[in-house]
Amino acid sequence: MTADFDPDFTPIAKTIRDSVGQQGFMNHIGAELSELKRGSCTLVVDRRPELLQQNGLFHGGVTAFLVDNATTIAAATSRGQPALTAEYKLNLLSPASGDRLICRARVIKPGRQVAVVGADVFCVIDGIEKHTATALASIAMLDEKAPARITKPGLTGRA
């Protein structure tokens, strides 16, 4: 056992990992949930031609997606409840080149209705991390019944 062991977090982590595993876009771009702790999340994606813009750099949309998803996941870990991005401010600090992008998100202020989450994105160039983006997000915390009330297009009724 480690000092970080949190038995109450084990079922929350399983639910989150299962949910993230069902996200089509995560699978589409090849992003992985590499670390999950209460109040934090790390997502990674390896360089692939489909994720690059015309200059061979990671597309800003990939960075934005990682921030959007990692901040929401981090918020969900803090209370074990569903969450949705309400807004985020993304600053692109330098071009995202290299072999991999890493997004580390951490809850700054948990809340019953809104959590404030920060994220930093790094590209890995020759094994060295370079800070390429930083973000601050407001994440809406939902009640546990909210996912059942959300109508999903293409499905009959509510799912």
Largest CA distance in the chain: 50
**What are the beta bridge partners of residue 44?**
32, 102
pLDDT tens per residue across span 97-138? 999 999 999 999 999 999 999 999 999 999 999 999 999 999
Q: Does the pLDDT value for residue 2 go beyond 80?
A: no
- At residue 154, the pLDDT reads 60
Find the DSSP H helices in the chain: 10-21, 24-29, 60-79, 146-149
Find the DSSP H helices in 22-138: 24-29, 60-79
Pairwise CA distance, residues 38 & 113, whole Å: 17
| DSSP reduced 3-state for 87 | strand
Which fold, 26-149? Thiol Ester Dehydrase; Chain A (3.10.129)
pLDDT tens per residue across span 54-109? 999 999 999 999 999 999 999 999 888 899 999 999 999 999 999 999 999 999 99
- At residue 69, the pLDDT reads 97
Q: Does the pLDDT value for residue 148 go beyond 70?
A: no
Side-chain half-sphere CA neighbours of 13 within 13 A: 15
The reported pTM is: 0.87
